[in-house]
Structure 1
Amino acid sequence: MKPVQGLHHITAVASNPHKNVEFFHTILGQRLVKKTVNFDDPGTYHLYYGDEVGTPGTIMTYFPWQHMRRGRRGNGETAAMAYTIRPEAMGFWQSWLKKNNISTGEIQTRFGADVLPFTDPDGLPLELITSNAPATLRHWADGPIGEKEALHGFHSVTLWLDAVEPTGKLLTEQLGYQFVGEEGNRFRYQAEANDMGIIVDILRRPGQPSGQFGAGSIHHVAFRTVDDAEQLEYLQKLRQAGQQVTAVQDRQYFHSIYFRSPGGVLFEIATDAPGFLYDEPVAELGTHLKLPPWLEQHRPAIEARLPEIKLKPIAKATP
């Protein structure tokens, strides 16, 4: 069975949709490729950001539950996520984030790469990590960031766990990852694909408090499979290994199965197909509120509950 190809998408929680859109779309230069609702809570948006077309491995998604209390980082969760940038773009991002009143930490070194830490408006830890690794994506030319400086999809996620081995075993034996090294209490696992978003780091923190879910927390991490047939193979394999895996869920732009890792982190396996062009052409991605067929009859009530999101004209960043 083919190993998973790396990260498909990452879903987090925000408290304010307007600040969220301003941050990702206007400052980080990630296109708002889909504006829909949380299918399980249709009074809340589900916002998707990515490259020009929402290529798997670039897709950051948010549930903006308004007025939700800020979460607290701790064990049993995905505590940080990272984007890849080219090494020569680091100076640009330091200057650009400062210009937009976003505080950054000191540049760190991790496995030989430079790491620039900062947070989203709700305190979710984000990182920009330098790499020249391949990235199969489509640059959003109409966005604020030039192609040389733009984010090159996901680099990695960092899990905070009491113990490394149980989740490490799941990654290597069930999902096809390889253990590739450790630095201090950080253990790195890498997918076999030669593309973006292939790294999962586990930070071992024995005996530390558990995280408290809220705004600024990552809800789940999704891994890539090509199609439905491959996903079903994983569903069967994971269940045979004793994982409690959900039935396949129709998420309109991909199909999903969910399960908890031994450390408590919610994982998903999502299909690449059908993608975000399923119900909008490239030029109109993210400009309409899209609802699945089973919610379309409730559109007037749903629209009445949702705050209006208007995309502002985007100014080009200057390196």
Structure 2
Amino acid sequence: MNIKGIHHVSAITANAKKNYDFYTNVLGMRLVKKTVNQDDNSMYHLFYADEKGSPGTDLTFFEIPRAGTTYSGTHSISTTSLRVKDDRALEYWKERFDQFGVDQDPIKEVLNRKTLSFRDPEGQRLTLVSDGNNEGVAPGVAWDQSPVPQQAGINGLGPVHLTVADAAPTANVLIDILGFRKVGTIDNRIVFETGEGGTGAEVHVEVNPELPRERPGRGSVHHVAFRVEDEAELAKWEDKIRGAGFPNSGLVDRFYFKSLYFREPNHILFELATDGPGFATDEDENHLGESLALPPFLEHKRQQIESELVPLDTSNKQN
């Protein structure tokens, strides 16, 4: 049993069209799946990733049109990192963000890596992280049809940043239950890694007891998922998590992967997700995300689902 790294991060948007425009046209990520929230079919669920939708590269969004403002604080996944090839790529992004008027901070070094923090139009807190010094989990492959040059493109998820009032309960789950290793601290941030380590396998836990509890809304993160090999291993994790006394979802079939959900003591939602079968299960790899994809158990409701969604054109004109 081994957590391999970050699988995906799921966040909230209030406007799927504007979200799609920003993440594909400005960030140059590939939409690899346009589907619906399986627990509430009235909302889109959009998956952005590398060229193939590889595990460890997915940033996903639930559309909740009436989502209010996020008031940041503790008990939260407060920043999501996106990997780029090297320091030179960050210089490209600094200029690109200036061009598109993206709210950004100066490039700075954190844990021997150059980083560039920025916000999307809804205030989603994001950081580009250079893989120039990475020696851990390999990245994905940036999309070669992106408006961003492939050598500067986003190729995966980097460290996930949690903010809590008390680190001990979260650290206990990461280490004692999930098998992460504590590898260091910087300021008020504790760094944990798993599997091969490196940029794609870290969780950073910031301790700030003076902050209020976060009130999530548009621009907030819903959950983080960690990678497990397959369904057989996921079943073992279910036994371990239940044995530790944590209520959990049991195995959930998301069709593109199998999942298990539970909340750690600081109320942050963790998911364990299998690497496969993947997003090409029901679509040709060259045409991922171009039409509304529904898993077989929702296909009989397609007409109803489509009638309740605001049309969203995601066709790739280059194909």
TM-score by length of structure 1 reads 0.94
Give 1:292-311 correspondences, 5 Å limit. 292-311=295-314
Counterpart-to-counterpart distance in 2, 1:14 and 1:101: 19
Structure 1 residue 60 corresponds to structure 2 residue 59: yes
Counterpart-to-counterpart distance in 2, 1:281 and 1:288: 11
Give 1:69-108 correspondences, 5 Å limit. 69-85=68-84, 86-108=86-108
Alignment RMSD: 1.6
Identify the residue that residue 111 of structure 2 maps to in structure 1: 111
Contact kept, 8 Å, 1:153 with 1:196, in 2: the verdict is no
Identify the residue that residue 247 of structure 1 maps to in structure 2: 250
Identify the residue that residue 257 of structure 1 maps to in structure 2: 260
Identical pairs, percent:
35
Contact kept, 8 Å, 1:43 with 1:306, in 2: the verdict is yes
- The code of the aligned residue for 2:242 comes to R
Q: Is the partner of 2:267 in helix, strand or coil?
A: coil
Q: CA deviation at 1:194?
A: 5.1
Q: CA deviation at 1:131?
A: 2.3
Q: CA deviation at 1:155?
A: 1.1
Identify the residue that residue 267 of structure 1 maps to in structure 2: 270
Contact kept, 8 Å, 1:144 with 1:314, in 2: the verdict is no
Counterpart-to-counterpart distance in 2, 1:16 and 1:4: 33
Change (3 A) 1:181 1:194: closer
Contact kept, 8 Å, 1:84 with 1:155, in 2: the verdict is yes
Change (3 A) 1:16 1:265: same
Contact kept, 8 Å, 2:103 with 2:120, in 1: the verdict is no
Identify the residue that residue 185 of structure 2 maps to in structure 1: 182
Query: Structure 2: any 5+ residue segments left out of the alignment?
Result: none
Contact kept, 8 Å, 1:136 with 1:195, in 2: the verdict is no
Identify the residue that residue 165 of structure 2 maps to in structure 1: 162
Structure 1 residue 32 corresponds to structure 2 residue 31: yes
Contact kept, 8 Å, 2:258 with 2:274, in 1: the verdict is yes
Cα deviation per residue 1:117-168 (whole Å; 9 max; x = unaligned)? Answer: 1112211100012223253423311111222111131111110101111111
Identify the residue that residue 194 of structure 2 maps to in structure 1: 191
Q: Is the partner of 1:308 in helix, strand or coil?
A: coil
- The code of the aligned residue for 1:11 comes to S
Identify the residue that residue 16 of structure 1 maps to in structure 2: 15
Contact kept, 8 Å, 1:46 with 1:62, in 2: the verdict is yes
Change (3 A) 1:314 1:193: farther
Counterpart-to-counterpart distance in 2, 1:286 and 1:196: 27
Cα deviation per residue 1:207-238 (whole Å; 9 max; x = unaligned)? Answer: 42000021111000000001001111111111
Identify the residue that residue 138 of structure 1 maps to in structure 2: 141
Contact kept, 8 Å, 1:6 with 1:196, in 2: the verdict is no
Cα deviation per residue 1:275-318 (whole Å; 9 max; x = unaligned)? Answer: 00110011110011011223222212211211111237789xxx
Q: Is the partner of 1:273 in helix, strand or coil?
A: strand
Change (3 A) 1:223 1:299: same
Counterpart-to-counterpart distance in 2, 1:103 and 1:292: 37
Counterpart-to-counterpart distance in 2, 1:267 and 1:65: 20
Q: Is the partner of 1:295 in helix, strand or coil?
A: helix
Give 1:308-319 correspondences, 5 Å limit. 308-311=311-314
Counterpart-to-counterpart distance in 1, 2:186 and 2:14: 34
Counterpart-to-counterpart distance in 1, 2:251 and 2:44: 22
Contact kept, 8 Å, 1:9 with 1:222, in 2: the verdict is yes
Contact kept, 8 Å, 2:5 with 2:197, in 1: the verdict is no
Structure 1 residue 173 corresponds to structure 2 residue 172: no
Counterpart-to-counterpart distance in 2, 1:109 and 1:73: 24
Counterpart-to-counterpart distance in 1, 2:66 and 2:177: 38
Contact kept, 8 Å, 1:34 with 1:47, in 2: the verdict is yes
* Mean CA deviation greater in 32-41 or 136-145: 136-145
Cα deviation per residue 1:166-194 (whole Å; 9 max; x = unaligned)? Answer: 11111112112110110110110011225
Query: Structure 1: any 5+ residue segments left out of the alignment?
Result: none
